[in-house]
Structure 1
């Protein structure tokens, strides 16, 4: 009888633990990026120092609080967001097309807000994309 009771307690604990762990694991839901954005290319040169500087400044103003200093998704607001904030330094992120990064960054979805009205200048938007390309491991 004691073994049965102990076994049931262990089973219950394992079930509870699995629910807790599942609540912390976020399934990465793929982005549905329209074809228009998938075919967009950054009009700025990847090594344009002025655009990188502008992009870094705008990143600090609009993105850093959630995505962190170097884009690892560890900014001060990150803990309050349920979504996966991604890692901009990862090969997976860097392998995305420019237009996909543009769409994700400015159109947004779910917890990622739309920035079209906050960052209205097209050059500033592309400068952020240019800066994000410098955040490699």
Structure 2
């Protein structure tokens, strides 16, 4: 193989290997999503019980199209979004307070719809309880 062909082959391999990774990393960069102070430390009024987790799992069906059944951010609609929906199994998500998760779920932003008026507050708190079950 001549030197020019080897160079072209090497460049092609590099492009096809690294460009998709760069594109994926750009998709996954979520911008800051500040939560109002009054919600950061808001306690979840719905106790963690088998019933609240079951209720949360049922309501979470509205979320799974983007966030995936196991909260990995791999739902069919999520793959088409400009912003990665997030991986609920990661510490960076699980370390958020219940109040932060509640507010973000209720309010939404950009491509994520808010669930105010679509789910009751109790249902959203139950979804928070259910999302806690995704912890690794």
Measured against the shorter chain, the TM-score band is 0.7 to 0.9
**Mapped pair 1:123 → 2:125:** no
Gaps of 5+ in 1: none
**Mapped pair 1:38 → 2:40:** yes
**How many residue pairs are counted as aligned between the two chains?**
132
2:114 alignment counterpart? 114
* Alignment match of 2:30 (pick from 11, 18, 28): 28
Deviation at residue 20 of structure 1 after TM alignment: 6.1
1:82 alignment counterpart? 82
Q: TM-score, normalised by structure 1?
A: 0.80
Report the secondary structure of 1:30's partner residue: coil
Report the secondary structure of 2:59's partner residue: helix
Q: 1:59-87: CA deviations, max 9, x gaps? A: 02x10111111100011111111112111
- Superposition RMSD on alpha carbons, in Å? 2.4
